[in-house]
Amino acid sequence: MPGTVVIGAQFGDEGKGKITDFLAEKADYVVRFGGGNNAGHTVVVEGKQFKLHLLPSGVVHGKRCLIGAGVVVDPRTLMEELAALEREGIQADLGIDPRAHIILPYHNLLDAAGEEGNHHEKIGTTKKGIGPCYADKALRQGIRFEDLIEPNRLKEKLARNYPIKKKVLEQIYGIRVPFTEESLFKEYAAVGEKLRAYNVDVSLETCTALDQGKKVLFEGAQGTFLDNDFGTYPFVTSSHPISSGAAVGVGIPTGKIGKVVGIVKAYTTRVGEGPFPTELRDAFGEALRKKGNEFGTTTGRPRRVGWLDLPMLRTAQRLNGFTELAVMKLDVLAGLDELKVCTHYLVNGKEICFFPYSTKGVELAQPQYKAFKGFKDLNPKAKKLAQLPKEARTYLKFVEKEVGARISIVSIGPGREETVQA
Ligand code: IMP
């Protein structure tokens, strides 16, 4: 049975967590394929809150959870999350691919140094060491999970990496490195010892599960426009949060992905720097941020907010092949007299219906809007589309037609019961 992948259609924080949890309950496996602890969401089970950044969200439902080769693993975060679960009596059923790369404290320092100094353009990263870790991977200098769990390999890899990182941090960035090669080895060899039992070929296990007809959910992190190639480079993350990223990040053929659920916030938000054509920089934007509680889960930073952007969503549809959409936070738009949707851009006087493919194009893009009549408060008990106000349905129908994928879920509140299914 082909697997299902959940993908953020915008800049991340679309509300993937709620839908992932919703789908995770029915899945046998939940698999992460990219990113690391730059992601984050809160899972509430029987009144208990779990904040997860790295572990797949299915872990609290007792599902088999896998971390694929494309993920970057911060062992400190992983240990903290496992310990928090254990305190609640949950033993994670976890597998980690030996090929996954490891984030070490020098990656965090390099990430922060790159952001704080004026050596590079500021990206507004989460400072979790994601970029420097993926950079080591691309340079073929990284330390992988297979090294972490083998003390001799770890020692050898640290001996190659540590002196270079220390030199760069101290001599280029002027930062004192508060740990030694020996202290790193001691801490991480002990962690590796504890994590060794989780070592598993995630590619093989996932393929076998799919062949046996098991339900596999691939949990996306971040969003389409943060993709390292197709996002708003350089204001992107260092992985591939698009649907094909699941195949590369786990090690499965693309044909084994069946459903692609695109998660779309009913408006747009972005955390961090970078272009945002429909951004609202006024008091109305501020009010929308407050109403939607738009503050980052991982860093607490206020998110920038703007109207829904159809050129973005059409492009996301092309990049991901959504088989269905989930529209999130529709309730945040309730009570407005008028809603706007960006239908296309003008770039040098020319009408553009997709997200510009070049940085220069994005800089020149002037969003053009269509206004819709607003809708009053939504019935929090609505379960079917027909129970939503006519104006809300008109807005949703328009989005569905323009993006070219069926809206199967509309979220009208944070609670699981505040979900409308079509
Ligand atoms: P990094 O992934 O920490 O390197 O950050 C690169 C960019 O991606 C920054 O603009 C971050 O704010 C953004 N980013 C990374 N992870 C997430 C996420 O889970 N949600 C939203 N934005 C994210």
CA 68–ligand 1 middle distance (angstroms):
19
Q: From the CB of residue 180, how many other CB atoms can be counted at a distance below 10 Å? A: 11
Domain for residue 96, yes or no? no
Q: Which domain holds residue 163?
A: 101-198
> 302 among the known binding-site residues?
yes
Tell me if 40 is assigned to a ligand binding site: yes
Output the pLDDT for position 116: 87
In total, how many domains does the chain have?
Answer: 2
Burial of 34 (0-12, 13-18, 19+ CB in 10 A): buried
Reduced 3-state DSSP string for the chain = CCEEEEEECCCCCCCHHHHHHHHHCCCCEEEECCECCCCCEEEEECCEEEEECCCCHHHHHCCEEEECCCEEECHHHHHHHHHHHHHCCCCCEEEECCCCEECCHHHHHHHHHHHHCCCCCCCCCCCCCHHHHHHHHHHCCCCEHHHHCCHHHHHHHHHHHHHHHHHHHHHHCCCCCCCCHHHHHHHHHHHHHHHHHHECCHHHHHHHHHHCCCCEEEECCCCHHHCCCCCCCCCCCCCCCCHHHHHHHHCCCHHHEEEEEEEEECCEEECCCCCCCCECCCHHHHHHHHHCCCECCCCCCECEEECEEHHHHHHHHHHHCCCEEEEECHHHHCCCCEEEEEEEEEECCEEECCCCCCHHHHHHCEEEEEEEECCCCCCCCCCCHHHCCHHHHHHHHHHHHHHCCCEEEEECCCCCCCEEEC
List, as one string, the DSSP characters of 249-270: HHT--GGGEEEEEEEEESSEEE
What residues have CB less than 8 Å from 14, skipping those under 6 apart? 8, 223, 263, 264, 265, 328
- Judgement on whether residues 301 and 329 belong to the same structural domain of the protein: yes
pLDDT digits (tens, 9 = 90+) for 45-71: 777 888 899 999 899 989 999 999 999
Residues 213 and 187 occupy one common structural domain: no
Pick the residue whose CA is nearest to atom 12 on ligand 1.
272
Last residue of a domain, one of 137, 164, 198: 198
Tell me whether residue 314 is in a domain. yes
Q: Residue 356: which CATH number?
A: 3.90.170.10
Do residues 112 and 167 both lie within one domain?
A: yes
Structure tokens that stand for 160 in this block: 């190659």
Per-residue pLDDT of the chain (422 residues; tens, 9 = 90+): 899 999 999 999 999 989 998 899 899 999 999 999 999 888 777 778 888 999 998 999 899 999 999 999 999 999 999 999 999 999 999 999 999 999 999 999 999 999 987 667 799 999 999 999 999 999 999 999 999 999 999 999 999 999 999 999 999 999 999 999 999 999 999 999 999 999 999 999 999 999 999 999 999 999 999 999 999 999 999 999 999 999 999 999 999 999 999 999 999 999 989 999 999 999 999 999 999 999 987 788 899 999 999 999 999 999 999 999 999 999 999 999 999 999 999 999 999 999 999 988 999 999 999 999 999 889 889 999 999 999 999 999 999 999 999 999 999 998 888 999 98
CB–CB of 382/404 below 8 Å?
no
Structural domain contains residue 287: yes
Mutate-to-test residue for ligand 1 from 6, 37, 38, highest number of ligand atoms within 8 A of CB? 38
Q: Which atom of ligand 1 is nearest to the CA of 130?
A: 4
- Shared domain for 159 and 205, answered yes or no, is no
Which residue, of 163, 198, 233, is where some domain finishes?
A: 198
Same domain, 206 and 191: no
Q: Are 27 and 217 in contact (CB under 8 A)?
A: yes
pLDDT in tens, 220-267: 999 999 999 999 999 999 999 999 999 999 999 999 999 999 999 999
Residues 171 and 318 in one domain: no
Check whether residue 323 and residue 310 sit in a common domain. Answer: yes
- Shared domain for 362 and 412, answered yes or no, is yes
Domain boundary among 165, 198, 231: 198
φ, ψ at 78 (rounded to 5°) = -60, -45
Q: What are phi and psi of 208, to 5 degrees?
A: -65, -45
Tell me how far the alpha carbon of residue 153 lies from the centroid of ligand 1, in angstroms: 31
3-state secondary structure of 274: coil
Whether 281 is covered by a domain: the verdict is yes
Q: Where are the beta strands (DSSP E) in 64-204?
A: 64-67, 72-73, 93-96, 101-102
Residues 73-115: pLDDT tens digits?
999 999 999 999 999 999 999 999 999 999 999 999 999 999 9
Residue 281: which H helix or E strand, with range?
none
Whether 123 lines ligand 1, by a CB cut-off of 6 Å, is yes
Is the CB of residue 130 below 6 angstroms from any atom belonging to ligand 1?
yes
Is the same domain home to 144 and 228?
no
* Residues 66 and 122 occupy one common structural domain: no
pLDDT for res 119: 67
Domain identity same for 368 and 225: yes
CA distance 271 to 4: 27
Bridge-partner residues for 339, per DSSP?
A: 372
Domain harbouring 148, CATH code: 1.10.300.10
Using CA atoms in the order 17, 132, 94, 86, what is the torsion angle rounded to 10 degrees? -80
CA–centroid distance, residue 125 to ligand 1 (Å): 6
Does any domain span residue 311?
yes
d(C-alpha 10, C-alpha 415), whole Å: 22
What is the Å distance from ligand 1's center to 127 Cα?
Answer: 9
pTM of the model: 0.96
Helix (H) or strand (E) holding 186: helix 181-195
Do 83 and 210 lie in a common domain?
yes
Q: Does a structural domain hold residue 95?
A: no
> Smallest Cα–Cα separation from 125: which of 239, 42, 220?
239
In a domain, 93, yes or no: no
The pick from 271, 299, 304 for probing ligand 1's pocket by mutation, whose C-beta has the most ligand atoms within 8 angstroms, reads 271
Q: Kindly state the tokens that stand for 218.
A: 């691939």
